[in-house]
Structure 1
């Protein structure tokens, strides 16, 4: 997917006001990357396809009844800030690094989106329950299941963009976790996938 295709993909699915916010977010990330290493400088010319649409595509897999989206290790704001712009409900972003957490709070305020940022590890986040849990380039699938067990429910939907190692991670996760696992093709990269998991629970409950 090239940049023009990425913008066209968004225009077909989301209102102009949301896309304007995404454009402002892209500007904020580009400017801040000059001060701290938010994203690789080599990906700035590809920010719409590589980062924004790669995050935005997750929204199409959000269950209609979902109300609370939690993003783990949000970092530069992908997918957490993008979800906060496009998802119809509150978004909580978990980011352990102080400088990144401050950036996320300032960005949410600048964009006027409903988002909460917790500077903490995923295991310690003060969250009661999440309807959706996402994470992008944070940890392996099985590790993410383990670190979010406290605030998931049988109805929680996991949305994990995975790269070339995605299939191997899914096989490993199935060895330790029950659940319904579904894989979708990423619209931005033919070698990447999105893991959608529901009903996740440990195979040996006593160990979790």
Structure 2
């Protein structure tokens, strides 16, 4: 694959983009053996997964020194974020929670290959030993109501949850408000105009 300088990646260094290309190649190599991304999405991995993960960066608070990504799977967005912040925010700790042992092995390989400040927890989210973070991310993992429960477990009280959601985003927000109180800023996704990025704070049971 050659590096693609899309609008979303215009603020990312060439070195970072090259590393992201190398990560994508590593993922495709592993994907032949374990299902990290759907086979139907392999040809569009850059837009569908890499750029979709990169667009979360501006929503990460400046004071964040620990970020936890849950259900990390093939490393989206956790590994992509770790690669993107490596040069500018080298002290940011990235925790990846992934219960599938094979996927966790891939995540550890990626972290080691690209010398990332990443720790992988091959555990169920409910049982994880990850420390509380200032930011939590999750992509294509669970309904928002469930994600808010995970967030209260994993976030510091002043933390921020960043959840990209598809076209059902606002319906999920409405359903979640039946059992949770929270503030929510929604931004239209740059990779899919029907999708949204939800930035959620002040989460508590209704």
Sort the TM-score into its range (normalised by shorter chain): over 0.9
Corresponding position of 2:203: 200
Across the aligned residues of Structure 1 and Structure 2, the Cα RMSD in angstroms comes to 1.8
CA drift of 1:128 comes to 2.8
> Who is 1:121 aligned against?
124
Between the aligned partners of 2:131 and 2:75, the Cα distance in structure 1 is 22
Q: TM-score, normalised by structure 2?
A: 0.92
Residues 1:63 and 2:61 are matched in the alignment? yes
| Secondary structure of 2:182's aligned partner | strand
Alignment partner of 2:104 out of 101, 105, 108: 101
Distance in 2 (CA, whole Å) between partners of 1:157 and 1:11 is 23
Unpaired runs of at least 5, structure 2: none
Paired position in structure 2 for 1:181: 184
Greater share of helix: 1
Alignment of 1:41-190 (within 5 A): 41-87=39-85, 88=89, 89-190=92-193
Q: Is the 8 A contact 2:158 2:202 kept in 1?
A: yes
When structure 1 is superposed on structure 2, of 74-83 and 126-135 the one drifting more is 126-135
Alpha-carbon separation, structure 2, partners of 1:174 and 1:106: 39
| Equivalent-residue separation in structure 2 for 1:114 and 1:152 (angstroms) | 19
Q: Deviations over 1:153-180 (max 9, x none)?
A: 2311111010122111111112211121
TM-score by length of 1: 0.91
Structure 1 runs not aligned, ≥5 long: 204-208
Which protein is richer in strand relative to its size? 2
Q: Distance in 2 between matches of 1:165 and 1:153?
A: 27
Aligned residues: 201
